[in-house]
Amino acid sequence: MLAKPARTPRFFVDDALRAESRVTLGRDAAHHAARVLRLRAGDPLIVFDGRGGEYSARVATLERERVVVEVGAWRDVERESPLAVTLVQGISAAERMDFTVRKAVELGAAAIQPLLSARSVVRLKDARTESRLEHWRRIAIAACEQCGRNRVPVLQPPLAVADYCKQDNAAALRLLLAPEAPARLRDLAAHATGPVLAAVGPEAGFSAQEEAMLATAGFVAVSLGARVLRTETAAIAVLAALNALAGDG
CB 85 within 8 A of CB 109: yes
Neighbours of 149 (CB within 10 A): 24
Burial class of residue 20 in the structure, from the number of CB atoms within 10 Å of its CB (0-12 exposed, 13-18 middle, 19+ buried): exposed
Of all residues in the chain, the percent with pLDDT exceeding 90 is 69
Residue-wise pLDDT for 187-228, tens only, equals 877 667 789 999 999 998 999 999 999 999 999 999 988 888
Confidence (pLDDT) at 221: 94
**Annotation: CATH topology of 85-246:** Alpha/beta knot (3.40.1280)
- DSSP-assigned letter for residue 223: B
Which CATH code is given to the segment(s) 10-75?
Answer: 2.40.240.20
What sign has the CA pseudo-torsion 121, 179, 95, 135? negative
CA–CA gap between residue 80 and residue 83 (Å, rounded): 8
What sign has the CA pseudo-torsion 125, 131, 134, 140? negative
**pLDDT for residue 2 is more than 70:** no
Residue-wise pLDDT for 140-179, tens only, equals 999 999 999 999 999 999 999 999 999 887 777 899 999 8
**pLDDT for residue 124 is more than 70:** no
Confidence of residue 94 (pLDDT cuts 50, 70, 90): confident
Of all residues in the chain, the percent with pLDDT exceeding 70 is 93
CB 78 within 8 A of CB 151: yes
Confidence of residue 51 (pLDDT cuts 50, 70, 90): very high
Confidence (pLDDT) at 186: 81
- Measured over all CA atoms, what is the biggest interatomic distance in the chain, rounded to whole angstroms? 60
**pLDDT for residue 127 is more than 70:** no
CA–CA gap between residue 83 and residue 42 (Å, rounded): 38
Confidence (pLDDT) at 130: 86
Confidence (pLDDT) at 126: 61
Confidence (pLDDT) at 136: 95
Task: Sketch the domain layout of the chain as residue ranges.
Answer: 10-75, 85-246
pTM (two decimals):
0.91
